[in-house]
C-alpha cells in the first residue's frame, strides 16, 4: 500500500530531511516533538504536529506508546524512525506493524538479528563475509573471554554484544588490562543497552573504517558503493567521504559484493549500512556490524550516485520493489561531509548549546547544508549536539576539498561555538589532503593541534 501520511519519530536535521523527502513524494507529514523542541524547524515544516512529552528522551522520543498513540490519533499510516532513538529497536518495529502501521525500515527480525553483534558476525560468516578473529558467540563470563584472548593474543577489543556508536568498547593490550577492563565493559553495556553480554575481537591497528550502503526490498538488494569514515574522535565520525580514497577497484568490488551477499542472506528491506575495517597494508577487510537504518552520512552517497536514499526507503516501505538495478548505479566525482556540532573544539569539544543570533549558509553548485537551524533558534541542551552537515561534491577529491574550504569560509553560525574550526584545520592538513589517515589518526592530531583550534582560523575572517 502506498503511504499517504508519514509520522516522523525523531527530531533535528534528520526529521527535516525526512519531511522534505516525504513532501517531494506527495506524502503528508506528522512531526512529534518534546516540549524542548516546540520551536524546531521540523515542527515548523510538518503538516501536523503532536507534542509527546517533556525534554527527557526517555519520556518523549523513546516513549513507544505515546508515539503510537500520536500516529493513531492523526491517521498516519506509517512511521519513519530516522536514526538514533528507536530506529534500531526491534520491539518498536514489531509494535508499529502489530498496530497495522508501516515501519519505514527493515523487519523486526532483521533488526534483531543484525543488531546483536554476535548474531551479525555469525550471519556474516555464514554468508562468506570475512570477520575479525574473535569470539564466535556471546561471552557472559570473564573466564571464557580470557580463555579466548589467550588464543588470539593481544591487543583485543572488548565490545558490548548489543552496543553501537562506539559505546561499551575497551581496548586491552595485556592480561592485566584485560582483567581490569572486562568488568567495566560489562557494567557500561548493561547500563547503556540493558544487556551485559560481550564479545571480544582482535584489534586491527591502523585500519580504516569503510562502510557500504545497501538498499533492499526484502527480495533483491543493491549496493550504492562505499563511504570512508576513518576520521573519528572517540569512535564518533566527524568527516565522511565517498568514494574511499584508499580502495583499489578490485577490492571495492569484493567489499561491495560481500555487503550485498550478507544483506540478501537476511532478506533486508530498506536502507542499511554494513561497516568494515580495512587494512590498506594487507588489503584485507573484515565485517564489523550492520546499521539497520539510514546513516548520518548518507548524503555523500546521494551526491556521488544521484540516488535519494530517503525517498527510496519510503517507497520501498510503501510496497514498491527496487526501481534501481545494480548496473545502473554509478559513482560520479567525489563528495565530503563534515558534521557541524554545537561543541567548542578549543575547550575539549565542550557542548555549547545556545541561540543562533546570525546564520549564513553556503550555496553554489555541489554544496548542500542539511541542518535544523534558522536565525533565532535556540538549540536545546538535552540531545545530541549535531546541528547539521555540510556536504560538498566536485569532480575529484582535491576539488571537493577546495570546495569544502570555500563552503566552510562562507558558513557562519553566531551565538554558539561549533566544530567549524576543526574542519577548516583538517581541510588544510597535508595528510588529510593526501588521504593518509586511519581510525586512530585524529585523536593524536587533535592533541598536537590544540593551539590551532583555539585560535581564530584564517578562513573565518572571510565569512560573510
The pLDDT tens digits of the residues spanning 275-292 come to 999 999 999 999 999 999
Out of 17, 227, 293, 339, pick the active-site residue.
293
- Residue range(s) in the chain whose domain bears CATH number 3.30.470.20: 208-462
Burial (CB count within 10 angstroms: exposed 0-12, middle 13-18, buried 19+), residue 450:
exposed
Provide the whole-model pTM.
0.90
Q: Domain 5-104, what fold?
A: Rossmann fold (3.40.50)
pLDDT higher than threshold 50 for residue 9: yes
Does the active-site annotation cover 293?
Answer: yes
125-131, long-range: CB < 8 A, 24+ apart: 126/265, 127/258, 127/261, 127/262, 127/264, 127/265, 128/258, 128/261, 129/258, 129/259, 129/261, 129/262, 129/287, 130/258, 130/284, 130/285, 130/286, 130/287, 131/201, 131/286, 131/287
Helix axes 298-305, 309-317, angle to 10 degrees: 100
**The domain defined by 133-202 carries CATH number 3.30.1490.20:** yes
pLDDT higher than threshold 70 for residue 319: yes
pLDDT tens track for 28-63: 999 999 999 999 999 999 999 999 999 999 999 999
Mean pLDDT of all residues in 77-105:
97
pLDDT tens track for 176-208: 999 999 888 888 888 777 788 888 888 888 999
* Helix H or strand E segment including 272: strand 269-279
pLDDT at 367: 98
Q: Domain 208-462, what fold?
A: D-amino Acid Aminotransferase; Chain A, domain 1 (3.30.470)
- Residue range(s) in the chain whose domain bears CATH number 3.30.1490.20: 133-202
pLDDT: which is higher, 396 or 201:
396
Indicate the DSSP class of residue 293: S
- Residue range(s) in the chain whose domain bears CATH number 3.40.50.20: 5-104
260-263, long-range: CB < 8 A, 24+ apart: 260/214, 260/221, 260/222, 260/223, 260/326, 261/127, 261/128, 261/129, 262/123, 262/124, 262/127, 262/129, 262/287, 262/290, 263/214, 263/216, 263/221, 263/290
Amino acid at each position: 500500500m502506498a503511504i499517504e501520511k508519514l509520522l516522523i519519530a525523531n527530531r533535528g536535521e534528520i526529521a527535516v530531511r525526512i519531511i522534505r523527502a516525504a513532501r517531494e513524494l506527495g506524502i503528508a507529514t506528522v512531526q512529534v516533538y518534546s516540549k524542548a523542541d516546540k520551536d524546531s524547524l521540523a515542527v515548523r515544516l510538518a503538516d501536523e504536529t503532536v507534542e509527546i512529552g517533556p525534554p527527557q528522551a526517555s519520556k518523549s522520543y523513546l516513549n513507544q506508546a505515546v508515539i503510537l498513540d500520536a500516529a493513531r490519533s492523526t491517521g498516519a499510516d506509517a512511521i519513519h524512525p530516522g536514526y538514533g532513538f528507536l530506529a534500531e529497536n526491534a520491539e518498536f518495529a514489531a509494535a508499529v506493524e502489530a498496530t497495522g502501521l508501516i515501519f519505514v525500515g527493515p523487519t523486526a527480525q532483521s533488526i534483531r538479528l543484525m543488531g546483536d553483534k554476535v548474531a551479525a558476525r555469525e550471519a556474516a560468516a555464514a554468508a562468506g563475509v570475512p570477520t575479525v578473529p574473535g569470539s564466535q558467540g556471546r561471552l557472559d563470563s570473564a573466564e571464557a573471554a580470557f580463555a579466548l584472548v589467550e588464543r588470539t593474543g593481544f591487543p583485543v577489543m572488548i565490545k558490548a554484544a548489543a552496543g553501537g556508536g562506539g559505546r561499551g568498547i575497551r581496548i586491552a593490550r595485556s592480561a592485566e588490562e584485560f582483567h581490569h577492563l572486562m568488568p567495566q565493559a560489562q557494567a557500561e553495556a548493561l547500563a547503556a543497552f540493558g544487556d551485559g553480554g560481550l564479545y571480544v575481537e582482535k584489534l586491527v591497528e591502523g585500519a580504516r573504517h569503510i562502510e557500504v550502503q545497501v538498499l533492499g526490498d526484502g527480495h533483491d538488494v543493491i549496493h550504492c558503493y562505499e563511504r570512508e569514515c576513518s576520521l573519528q574522535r572517540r569512535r564518533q565520525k566527524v568527516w565522511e567521504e565517498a568514494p574511499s580514497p584508499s580502495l583499489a577497484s578490485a577490492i571495492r568490488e569484493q567489499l561491495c559484493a560481500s555487503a550485498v551477499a550478507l544483506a540478501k542472506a537476511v532478506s533486508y528491506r530498506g536502507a542499511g549500512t554494513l561497516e568494515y575495517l580495512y587494512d590498506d597494508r594487507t588489503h584485507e577487510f573484515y565485517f564489523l556490524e550492520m546499521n539497520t537504518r539510514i546513516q548520518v552520512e548518507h548524503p555523500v552517497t546521494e551526491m556521488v550516485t544521484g540516488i535519494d536514499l530517503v525517498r527510496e526507503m519510503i517507497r520501498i516501505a510503501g510496497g514498491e520493489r527496487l526501481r534501481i538495478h545494480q548496473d545502473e548505479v554509478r559513482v560520479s566525482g567525489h563528495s565530503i561531509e563534515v558534521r557541524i556540532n554545537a561543541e567548542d573544539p578549543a575547550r575539549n569539544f565542550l557542548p555549547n548549546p545556545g541561540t543562533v543570533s546570525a546564520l549564513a549558509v553556503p550555496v553554489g553548485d555541489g554544496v548542500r547544508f542539511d541542518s535544523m537551524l534558522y536565525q533565532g533558534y535556540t538549540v536545546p541542551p538535552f540531545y545530541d549536539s549535531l546541528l547539521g552537515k555540510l556536504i560538498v561534491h566536485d569532480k575529484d577529491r582535491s576539488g571537493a576539498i577546495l570546495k569544502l574550504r570555500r563552503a566552510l569560509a562562507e558558513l557562519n553560525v553566531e551565538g554558539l561555538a561549533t566544530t567549524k574550526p576543526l574542519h577548516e584545520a583538517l581541510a588544510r592538513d597535508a595528510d588529510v589532503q593526501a588521504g593518509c589517515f586511519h581510525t586512530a589518526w585524529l585523536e593524536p592530531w587533535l592533541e598536537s593541534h590544540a593551539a590551532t583550534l583555539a585560535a581564530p582560523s584564517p578562513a573565518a575572517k572571510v565569512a560573510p
